[in-house]
A and B are shown apart, each in its own frame.
Chain A
Amino acid sequence: MAEARIPPGAWLPLAIGAAWLLLIDTGAVAHPLMVPLHEVLAAPFVDEQGRQIWSAAASSLVRVALGFLIGASLGIAVGVAVGLSRPAQLAVAPTVHGLRQVALFAWIPLLTAWFGNGDLVKIVFISISTFFPVFLNTEQGVRGIAPAYREVAAIVRLGPWLRLRRLVLPAILPAVLTGVELALLTAWIGTVGSEYAIGTGRGIGAYLATARDVFRMDLVLIGVLVMALGGYGLSRVAQLLFLRLIPWRTR
């Protein structure tokens, strides 16, 4: 029992790590791009430029939270409004589907011309990247409400407000959460991507852009690692929301 077995999936990363230590950390292979493993891991703590990753991550997280809240509220509100009215659905859905086909990043040049290079443009971009998945799933959820429920609501003459609170919102919750799960990821990519593309200000993306410009592979690797961890953390948040809000749904 005391013997700890190495899970088979750990062999490859361990082998890569060992090769990295043996070949590069010992100096057997020297190349500006081949940075020693211990330097990469120490960079966020000792290196002066490396330490900026903490504040960069913090400002990216604030940004993604803000942009996500704006985009998700808009997505849910417009999704419910459009989903409830058939003419609105027919009028709005094709346009939104068309707009969604524009790869998100293609908006950045236009948005920077309109909103400058500061925080505003990044928040706007994150909101847009959040809006689409939330809107589409919300609208689908509203459309999917069983007609029997609608009829019951009509028979008991629920007012619009009660109908929204007692019928529509609970019924669309799973669909909205699916949208939120997807949107958290696109919002995170939108956050890092907009920071990276614009290159100014703080944030993981700007950190990556700077590290790339000064050819610091160790900082780039740390930045990418933090970005991946952030994405993982956000998907955990989505899973927690699922467990909390709709525990009866096994996934």
Chain B
Amino acid sequence: MAALEHLAGGVGASPLPRAAAWPWRTALPAPLRRLLLALALPAAIVALWQWAAVRGWVPPQILPAPALVWDTFLELARGGELLEGFLISLQRIGSGLALGGPLGLALGIWLGVSARARSHLEPTLRALFAVPTLGWIPILILIFGIDEALKVIVIAKAVMVPVVLSTSRGIRNIPLAYLEAARVLRLRPWTRLTRLTLPACLPTVFSGFRLGLSHAFIALIVVEMLAATEGIGYMMVWGRKLFQLDIVIVGIVVVGVAGCVLDLLLRRLERGLSRWAPGHG
């Protein structure tokens, strides 16, 4: 979203002569104009969708009308299914984060601090990390079945990988001058960790967590679709089985909106954090 705002800012600053070609450019305030343009395409898509449904171009089993999808959404929201599925999914992400986050952080710090750990462990870890989450799912299903443990482990793995990589990188990229200052001051290991290492690598670590959470969200949907009996991902598979595409479309929209909100929140947090961090570096 930040990139979009930036882009929009750049457009506002564009040379004036082109305004002649767009008379309404000057008639409306810039943010409103941008909003209208941004909404034009989705509106057109929905209009076409509605038109197709009204004219009966495609059978409703293949493409349910927008109104039906909206009704289904309201029904699922009122009946509590949506909220229930959402809470279960949220709980899974929470457990995965609680397991994968600290583990990744510990491993990342170890790899960042000790050259020995790095030379011995890193090649193996890199090879393991190169296997996408999707590849782990069949192995883990054989070991753990399709219980809750499977989902938590898959999500924890998705969180852990970026956290390990960015934590160890963040620690290794601490400016040499700081390390020398710490040596001159003869900081004890613990003081050094809490006063230098952790604050200095915090922004990198956080961006690792941000990436990890967005990976976790994707892993959640995948694992719920492949092996679950509840949750948002399962709701979509279930709707597909019944050939009730209205439920599937509601699921897609919910997943998309949740993804957007998550992305936005994490970016805000990161921006706030990076503003705060340099003063402590």
Contacts and interface: CB of A to CB of B under 8 A. Distances in A.
A212 interface: yes
B263 A101 contact: yes
Nearest to A106: B255
Nearest to B236: A109
B6 to A, nearest CB: 10
A153 to B, nearest CB: 15
Contacts, number: 149
Interface in B131-163: 131-132, 134-139, 141-143
Interface residues of A, number: 53
A77 B62 CA distance: 29
A208 B138 contact: yes
Interface residues on B, range: 35 or more
A224 B120 contact: no
A86 B8 contact: no
A183 interface: no
A103 B218 contact: yes
A98 B143 CA distance: 37
A189 B132 contact: yes
B17 interface: no
Contacts of B263: 101
Interface stretch (B47-55, B94-102, B164-172, B243-251): B243-251
B81 to A, nearest CB: 16
Interface in A77-126: 86-87, 89-95, 97-99, 101-110, 112-114
Given A9-B123, A90-B37, A197-B225, A99 B256 contact: yes
A105 B38 contact: no
A50 interface: no
A223 B121 contact: no
Interface in B158-196: none
B256 A12 contact: no
Contacts of A90: 8, 11, 34, 37-38
Given A224-B138, A231-B132, A109 B256 contact: no
B45 to A, nearest CB: 8
Interface string A132-158: 000000000001000000000000000
A33 interface: yes
A220 B139 contact: yes
B80 interface: no
Contacts of B137: 196
A89 B218 CA distance: 27
Contact of A105 (B62, B120, B221): B221
Given A103-B222, A110-B252, A212-B142, A89 B122 contact: no
A228 B236 CA distance: 28
B138 A106 contact: no
Contacts of B265: none
| Most A-side CB within 10 Å, residue of B41, B62, B141 | B41
B226 A101 contact: no
A189 B222 CA distance: 12
B225 A105 contact: yes
A107 B252 contact: yes
B245 A113 contact: yes
A102 B255 contact: yes
A4 to B, nearest CB: 17
Nearest to B261: A101
B138 A211 contact: yes
A86 to B, nearest CB: 6
Contacts of B131: 224, 227-228
B123 A192 contact: no
Interface in A7-28: 7-13
Interface of A: 7-13, 33, 86-87, 89-95, 97-99, 101-110, 112-114, 143, 189, 192-193, 196-197, 208-209, 211-212, 215, 217, 220-221, 223-224, 227-228, 231-232
* Closest A-B pairs by Cβ, 9 of them: A9-B123, A101-B259, A109-B240, A102-B256, A94-B38, A103-B221, A90-B37, A8-B119, A224-B135
Given A91-B38, A109-B236, 17 more contacts: A9-B124, A90-B38, A91-B41, A94-B4, A101-B256, A101-B259, A103-B255, A105-B233, A106-B233, A106-B255, A109-B239, A110-B248, A113-B245, A192-B135, A224-B135, A224-B138, A228-B132
11 contacts: A12-B123, A90-B11, A92-B41, A93-B4, A94-B41, A101-B256, A102-B252, A102-B256, A103-B222, A112-B240, A197-B225
